[in-house]
Chain A
Amino acid sequence: MTSALWTHLVKDLRIEWRSREAVNSMLFFALLVVVLFSLAFSPRGAFSQEISGGVICVATLFASMSALNQAWAREIRHQVLDAQRMAPTSGSDLFLAKVMANFLFVSIVQLVLAPVFLVFYNLHIAGQAWQLLLVLPLGTWALVANGTFFAALSIRSRNRELLLPLILFPIFMPALLAMVLATGSILTGDSDPTLWIKLLAGYDIIFTTVSLLLFDVVLHAE
Chain B
Amino acid sequence: MKKAALGLYIAITLALLAWGFYQAIYVAPTDAMQGEIYRIIFYHVPSASVAFLFFAISLAGSIGFLAFRSNQANRAQIADAWALAGAEVGVVFCTVVLITGPIWGRRAWGIWWTWDARLTTTLVLWLIYVSYLLLRRFVAGPQMQTLAAVLGIFGALDVPIVYMSNRWWRTQHPAPVFGGSEGSGMAPAMAAVLGWNMLAWMAWGVLILVLRYRVERQHQQIAAKEAQEALNA
Contacts and interface: CB of A to CB of B under 8 A. Distances in A.
A159 interface: yes
Contact of B138 (A158, A177, A199, A202): A158
A214 B127 contact: no
A195 interface: yes
B135 A217 contact: no
Contacts of A156: 139, 141, 143
Interface stretch (A18-26, A76-84, A119-127, A164-172): A164-172
B210 to A, nearest CB: 28
Interface stretch (A34-42, A52-60, A92-100, A203-211): A203-211
B134 interface: yes
Identify the interface centre among A154, A157, A163, A218: most chain B CB within 10 Å of its CB: A157
A199 B165 contact: yes
Interface string A133-153: 000000000000000001001
Interface in B135-165: 135, 138-143, 146-147, 150-151, 153-155, 157-158, 161-162, 164-165
Contacts of B162: 173-174
A61 interface: no
A171 B158 contact: yes
Contacts of A171: 128, 154-155, 158
Nearest to B168: A195
Interface residues of B, number: 31
A210 B156 CA distance: 12
A174 B158 contact: yes
B131 interface: yes
Contact of B124 (A154, A173, A222): A173
Contacts of A166: 131, 134-135
A198 to B, nearest CB: 10
Nearest to B140: A158
B169 A181 contact: yes
Contact of B135 (A154, A169, A177, A222): A154
A65 to B, nearest CB: 15
Contacts of B143: 156, 221-222
Interface residues of A, number: 31
A186 interface: no
A74 to B, nearest CB: 20
A163 B144 CA distance: 13
A177 B116 CA distance: 12
B131 A170 contact: yes
Interface in B18-71: 66
B155 A218 contact: no
Nearest to B143: A221
B135 A163 contact: yes
Contact of A170 (B140, B155, B161): B155
A31 interface: no
A156 B140 CA distance: 8
A178 interface: yes
Contact of B146 (A154, A207, A222): A222
B158 A218 contact: no
Nearest to B125: A170
A105 B153 CA distance: 28
B158 A217 contact: no
A222 B142 contact: yes
Nearest to A173: B124
Contacts of A218: 146-147, 150
A154 B135 CA distance: 8
Q: Which A-B residue pairs are the 4 nearest by beta carbons?
A: A221-B143, A170-B127, A221-B146, A157-B139
12 contacts: A150-B151, A154-B139, A156-B143, A157-B138, A159-B138, A162-B138, A166-B131, A169-B127, A169-B131, A170-B158, A174-B165, A222-B143
Given A170-B127, A171-B154, 8 more contacts: A153-B135, A157-B139, A166-B134, A167-B134, A170-B155, A195-B168, A199-B164, A222-B143
